[in-house]
Structure 1
Amino acid sequence: MEEHLENATVFKGTSKTVQNELLDCMLSVNQLVLVLRHTDDRNTVQERFFEFIPLKSANAESIATALSERLSGILPEQKGKLICQVYDGASVMRGAISGVERRIQDEYPNAHYIHCYAHN
């Protein structure tokens, strides 16, 4: 990116208008990023991007349903294995009463919430 900004002569993409249009494009794609963190056979922590999960809506019910459906395919009959869930601090995600956090923890009792370090 630094090289592009230093050397671009025609299009740098740094104007406020271009930046806002790029953000609008990104916001129009409703998806959830699923990253799984686990230990391997040598007890080494592994963290890997797993997939993008398309969302019908950005409310807690829709997000939790999509995530729950995907997790049931990854961890069938192993609800005790999911021990953590990490999200940004948005109330729709973190809501301890009716947010995604609560809905997932109702199904996966060991899945405690931790605030995403990258969003601090």
Structure 2
Amino acid sequence: MTGMAVSPATRQLCDATFSYDEAASALSLLDLYAGPDPERVHQAAVRLSGGRLGRLRKWLDEAKRNPETVLWFGESPSDVSADTHAFGVEFINAFLDKHPDTPAVSGSE
């Protein structure tokens, strides 16, 4: 299943976030997201990835289950302080970094 086309603004964000060699892969991963609010989810996941494809893949996997979680971490929530939010993002990304990527199985979705 293919998601919504990636917006020009999200393409620019990918170009600014990922290396030249990885930007196309990042766009391909984003294109697979078929859930609600695709542009916001795409941009939140790219910001959260910190330019790492493995993190992007994991944030998009979470977005398939619960897009609101990705939006909360990837945007600026009003229900916590900026420091608390930054700590949460760093904590989750450190957790993701400790769990190696598992290869995606094509045709599994």
Task: Quickly name the TM-score band, shorter chain normalised.
Answer: under 0.3
Q: Which structure carries more relative contact order (alpha carbon 8 Å, separation 6+)? A: 2
Q: Which has the larger radius of gyration?
A: 1
* More helix per residue: 2
- Give the TM-score, by structure 2 length: 0.26
